[in-house]
């Protein structure tokens, strides 16, 4: 399912330079759920891919000037139609959580996988996204010692609000057992 380099089989790959090595001996025990739309509130297009690969044109939209120069990534993006894109191998550290902590442990990027859902903090997500996310989590749990799933807002409270109240936590958690 996951090759020796950390790529998930059968998933479209768009490699992001915004990653580095995890600290030696670190177990990957946390999955962080995010939401993103670029421009804000708009879906589709390649702006998220461009952001995660440092190719976002700041002249293409006024909001892009505000985030110009940001170096961010996630391991996975789940599009509105449920399609998956992997940007960073799971064995490397993606730059998705920023200043963060989970259960007293700081620097969540060190020990987590970041999954972005194409969406906004104030809207619902699509059935296809939930199905893809649930399948992704099941596949990752088969290969990694994932023990926890948290929202970006949980690991960076007061700084982040995603994936927001429209995310159906009860559904996802109940289906994962």
Residues carrying an active site annotation: 116
- Among 17, 83, 92, 6, CA closest to 52: 17
Could you give phi then psi for residue 32, rounded to 5 degrees?
-110, 125
Angle of CA points 94, 126, 66, to nearest 5°: 50
CA nearest neighbour of 117 among 92, 93, 134? 134
Residue 36 — φ and ψ, nearest 5°? -150, 145
CB 51 within 8 A of CB 72: yes
In whole angstroms, what is the distance from residue 98 CA to residue 137 CA? 22
């Amino acid at each position: 399912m996951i090759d020796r380099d950390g790529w998930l089989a059968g998933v479209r790959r768009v490699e992001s330079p915004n990653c580095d090595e995890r600290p030696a001996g670190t177990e990957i025990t946390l999955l962080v759920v995010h939401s993103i739309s670029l421009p804000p509130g708009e879906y589709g297009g390649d702006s998220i891919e461009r952001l995660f690969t440092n190719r976002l044109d700041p002249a293409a939209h006024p909001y892009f000037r505000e985030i110009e120069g940001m170096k961010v990534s996630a391991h996975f993006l789940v599009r509105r139609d449920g399609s998956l894109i992997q940007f960073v191998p799971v064995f490397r550290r993606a730059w998705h959580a920023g200043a963060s902590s989970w259960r007293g442990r700081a620097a969540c990027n060190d020990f987590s996988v970041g999954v972005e859902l194409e969406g906004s903090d104030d809207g619902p997500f699509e059935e296809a996204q939930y199905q893809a996310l649930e399948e992704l989590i099941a596949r990752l749990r088969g290969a990694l010692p994932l023990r926890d799933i948290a929202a970006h807002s949980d690991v960076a409270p007061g700084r982040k609000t995603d994936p927001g109240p429209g995310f159906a936590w009860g559904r996802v958690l109940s289906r994962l057992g």
